Amino acid sequence: MPEYRGVMVHAEVAEGKLAAIATELLGCGRRLADELGEELSAVIAGGGVSGLAREAFAFGADKVYIVDDVLLKDYQTDAHVTVMEKVVRQVMPRILLIGQTSIGRDLAPRLAFRLETTATMDCIELAIDPGSKLLLRTKPVFGGNARAVYTSELNPQIATVRTKAMTPLAPDTSRKGEVVTVEAGLAPSIIRTRILEKVKQEVEGISLEAADVVISGGRGIGSAEGFEQLEELAGLLKGAVGASRPPCDNSWVPDVLQVGLTGKIVAPDLYIAVALSGSSQHMAGCSGCKNIVAINKDPEANIFREARFGVVGDWKKVLPALTAKVRELLAE
Ligand SMILES: Cc1cc2nc3c(=O)[nH]c(=O)nc-3n(C[C@H](O)[C@H](O)[C@H](O)COP(=O)(O)OP(=O)(O)OC[C@H]3O[C@@H](n4cnc5c(N)ncnc54)[C@H](O)[C@@H]3O)c2cc1C
C-alpha cells in the first residue's frame, strides 16, 4: 500500500510572484521535511504560473507541481479545491501546509473534507513529534488567551499557518529541483461562480499585515486627530498604524485598521499599543507579535501583562517624547 510521505506546501501566487505566505510556508516546510528526512514539495496552481517553480526552489522546495490553466487564473473555490484534491491524491504527502489567508481559509476545510482528514486552522507553531512523526500544531485558543497543541492521526495532516508566524529561508537562486506538470483537467461546468470584478483596496504606505512595526491606538486616543500623532511615529519607523475596535466604530480611522478577533491578525517585530486596554479580542490579533510595548495611564491595564516593555502615563505626554527621541536617534 502506498505510504503518505513528505511535506507539501500550497504556494499562493500574488501579482505574478509567490506570495509572502508561500515563502514563509516553504521555510517552515523545509525544517519539517528535514526533521522527517523527507521531501519538500510545493503546488503552484494558477494561470501563467509555469515560471514560478524557480522561486519555489530558491525558497527551499525540492519538487514543484505546476498546474497551469486559464480556469485557475483567479482563486475560485470549485476549481482550486478540485485541482488540489487531484494533486494531493496523486502525491500523498504526509503533511500539507496552507496559508491562513482568505484563500487558505476557504480551501483547507473543503479539501480536508474531500480527503476525509482534518485541518487545524490558524497555527502559529509546528513541530514533529519524534516518536509518532505526527505534526504538532500549536494555535491560539480562547480569543488568544491560551495556546493549544493539536495532533491528528489522519493523513494528510493539514494545517493552515498564520501569516508572519514562520520565517522564510534566505533565497538561494542556485538551488535546483524537479518540476512536475499536472494537467488541471477541469470541466468549466464544475465552476459554479464567476468573478465579475476585482476592486483593489488602496492602502497608503505599508499594509498592516506586511509591516514590521505597527503602532496601534485605542479608545484612549480620543479622536481622529490623535491618530495623526501615531501616523507620525509610524512614518519615522517605516511602520503602519492599527487600532482597537472603538476607534474604528467611532470612525476615527477606517475599519480596515482594526486588529483583533474580528479584524486583522498582525505579527510584526514591534507592536506599540497606545491607550488600549489589551482585551482578549484585541490580543487575538496581535498575540504573535515579537515585542509589545504598551503606553497606558492605568497600571492595571491588561496590556501590561502582554507587553515586554510598558510606560504608565498619559499618551499625550509619552508619545511626543518617544517620537522626538526616535527622530533624534534616526538623525544620528
Ligand atoms: C465578538 C467581539 C469581537 C470583538 N473584536 C474585536 C477586535 O477584533 N478588536 C478589538 O480591538 N476589539 C474587539 N472587540 C471589542 C473588545 O471587547 C474591547 O471592547 C476593545 O478591544 C476595547 O478597545 P480599547 O482597548 O481601545 O478600549 P478600552 O478597553 O476602553 O481601553 C482604553 C484604554 O485606554 C487607556 N487610556 C485612556 N486615556 C488614556 C490616556 N490619555 N493615556 C493613556 N492611556 C489612556 C485606558 O486606561 C484604557 O486601558 C470585540 C468584542 C466582541 C464582543
Q: Looking at residue 56, what is its pLDDT?
A: 98
Measuring from atom 39 of ligand 1, which residue has the nearest CA?
Answer: 220
Beta pairing, strands 119-123 & 178-181: unpaired
In this structure, what C-alpha cell is assigned to residue 265? 491578525
Pocket test for ligand 1, best of 257, 264, 296, 300 (most atoms within 8 A of CB): 296
Q: For 234-256, what is each residue's pLDDT tens digit?
A: 999 999 999 999 999 999 999 99
Q: Looking at residue 332, what is its pLDDT?
A: 85
Cα–ligand 1 centroid distance for 280 (angstroms): 9
Q: Where are the chain's structural domains?
A: 7-190, 213-331
Question: What is the DSSP annotation of 211-252?
Answer: -SEEEEE-GGG-SHHHHHHHHHHHHHTT-EEEE-HHHHHTTS
**Ranges of the chain whose pLDDT falls below 50:** none
- Which atom from ligand 1 is nearest to the alpha carbon of 303? 49
Which residues form the pocket of ligand 1, taking CB atoms under 6 Å from any ligand atom? 218-220, 244-246, 258-263, 275-277, 279, 281-282, 285, 296-298, 301, 314-316
Measuring from atom 23 of ligand 1, which residue has the nearest CA?
Answer: 244
Q: Looking at residue 1, what is its pLDDT?
A: 67
The answer regarding whether domain 213-331 maps to CATH 2.30.330.10 reads no
The CATH code of domain 7-190 reads 3.40.50.620
- Under a CB-based contact definition with an 8 Å cutoff, are residues 292 and 311 in contact? no
Cα–ligand 1 centroid distance for 202 (angstroms): 26
Measuring from atom 33 of ligand 1, which residue has the nearest CA?
Answer: 276
Q: Which residue has the cell 497606545?
A: 274
Domains 7-190 and 213-331 share a fold: yes
- Predicted structure pTM score: 0.80
Cα–ligand 1 centroid distance for 183 (angstroms): 50
Q: For 32-46, what is each residue's pLDDT tens digit?
A: 999 999 999 999 999
